[in-house]
Amino acid sequence: MATAQEVSIALDWTLNTNHIGLVVAQEKGYFEEAGLEVDILPYSDSASTALLAAGAVDFAYMTALGFMSAKAGGAEITALWVTMQREAGRLVYNSDDEAISRPADLEGKTYAGFGSAWEDALISTMIENDGGLAEYDTVTLGTGAYEALASGAVDFTLEVATWEGVNSELLGRDQSHFIYNDYGVPEPQGGYIGTQTAMLESEPETVEAFMKATERGYAWAAEHPQEAAEILIEAGDFPNEDLVHGSMRVIDEGGYLTDGTTPVGRIDPGRLEKMARFLYESSVLRGTDGTPLAWPGDVSNWFDQSWMADQADPEPLAD
């Protein structure tokens, strides 16, 4: 029997339902059938994009912002896959806050943030497109933002509907939200898997084997969301199993992995371009010296899905 090829993938965060297909592929033997021994590395303080760019891992699961920031900064990495076909992020506030009914009402309020320039670009765009002034206070609290909002210490924050949103429901918190795309922010896909461009060129068979097994994992999870939740629970350390099941319910009902017509993992070139352009034009993407980077005019080489069958991709957006 041939020896399995060892490959590794770094995660962008602690294990959660975004990673469901990787865990399913591991536990159901899809990677093994592809001749691979896959090490799904636990989340660490080092960003998955940095580990990938440095060649410390073979693949990385990356946030859309993390991937685009690294790529714009010159990292020789290429996206192969995107998990979420819909934007799961949203701006949330307490439903009993009578002072907030639209984004313009956030002017002068206090935001619990996470420390990225993307947040200000997003929130400012939403407020201004609703006719308000993008003037608000920010306190950087990280994951403590959700408790701060629940206690009324802050007025609004950002959350992921498929995780923090589910947790808030389980805790009985009455919260309302605004959708980014309703107020001028492009709706990106989210949760990229990528590799070093050099590996894509030198080991295309390995890349294809890994990605096809990953695709099988996510496709199975999309068809069997609650069974997939059980597999994830058994593979990880989840003190709140209801959160995992609830998350997969929302992912399934919301068509986040697939709308039933688009294959799981398919990157939409137009949406990638539109989001990248927004990040460039909002001065979120910057060089190592802090200078805003100029829009390069073309980002079609940021991804490669030649490993995927049925390459009837949408046309990129026109300039």
Contact call for residues 267 and 194 (beta carbons, < 8 A): no
Reading the chain (319 residues) residue by residue, the pLDDT tens digits are 568 899 999 999 999 999 999 999 999 999 999 999 999 999 998 999 999 999 999 999 999 999 999 999 999 999 999 999 999 999 999 999 999 999 999 999 999 999 999 999 999 999 999 999 999 999 999 989 999 999 999 999 999 999 999 999 999 999 999 999 999 999 999 999 999 999 999 999 999 999 999 999 999 999 999 999 999 999 998 999 999 999 999 999 999 999 888 899 999 999 999 999 999 999 999 998 999 999 999 999 999 999 998 654 444 444 4
CA-to-CA distance for 199 and 205, rounded, in angstroms? 10
Domain 89-183, CATH homologous superfamily name and number: Periplasmic binding protein-like II (3.40.190.10)
Q: Which residues pair with 175 in a beta bridge?
A: 94
pLDDT of residue 313: 46
Q: Which residues contact 253 (CB under 8 A, 6 or more apart)?
A: none
CATH class of 5-86+188-302: alpha beta
Q: Which pair of structure tokens corresponds to residue 40?
A: 């799904």
pLDDT of residue 310: 66
The whole-model pTM stands at 0.93
Q: 1-5: long-range contacts (C-beta < 8 A, 24 or more apart)?
A: 2/35, 4/32, 4/35, 4/36, 4/37, 5/35, 5/36, 5/37, 5/206
pLDDT of residue 316: 42
**β-strand pairing of 110-113 with 156-160:** parallel
Q: Which residues pair with 178 in a beta bridge?
A: 91
Q: Which residues contact 1 (CB under 8 A, 6 or more apart)?
A: none
Contact call for residues 190 and 117 (beta carbons, < 8 A): no
Q: In the chain, list all ranges with CATH 3.40.190.10.
A: 5-86+188-302, 89-183
pLDDT of residue 261: 87
- Full 3-state SS string of 200-263: HHHCHHHHHHHHHHHHHHHHHHHHCHHHHHHHHHHHCCCCCHHHHHHHHHHHHHCCCCCCCCCC
